Structure 1
Amino acid sequence: MASGVLIVESRPASPEEAAAYHDWYDNTHLPEILKVDGFVAARRLASLGGDTFIVIYEIDGDVEAAKAALAQAQASGTMSRPTGVELAPPPTVRYFTQLIR
């Protein structure tokens, strides 16, 4: 079972860039992020209106360590730049950790 998740909410920059947005997510970004230590699975979902999308990335192990590993991969240039993603406003990025009660 995952110890945490990263949830990212985003949308294409325009209807004309939607195909590039989905192609980048499916064929470039998801394979890249799943190579980062701690990230073990990902799934994409569309809002009922189809204009907003979320990705739920499952994290196994220390969520803070996975967050740091992702930041390092982005800073080093290992991760590609987004294609067709609306950046104003930027995507919403939130990390969650499993509650232990």
Structure 2
Amino acid sequence: MPSFHVAGVPIQFSFQPYRTQLALMHTVICAARQPKNAVIESPTGPGKSLALLCSALALQQYLIDNDSNNTPEPHLTPTQPLNAQPNSKNPKNPPPFSLNP
């Protein structure tokens, strides 16, 4: 399977991509990195779906492989019994969850 780089991201594609597919993949990767919205327009038949999927999945894998801080996702942790009723007006009875990194 041919492999090449678009905007620094290695992408595997089932064949040599058309120029329009390369442009689409470049747009997808650049828009996702910024993050920005991207309007992608192309005539019927040049393989938009394949180019979109390959570039999005390749970027996702690239970001996973090159995650430099390896920080776990934040999650909610109970700080008191779950049946306790939070009272936002009483500072002695805080909400039962805190955000932990």
More contact order relative to length (CA 8 Å, sep ≥ 6): 1
- Normalised by the length of structure 1, the TM-score is 0.28
Larger radius of gyration: 2
Q: TM-score, normalised by structure 2?
A: 0.28
Higher strand share: 1
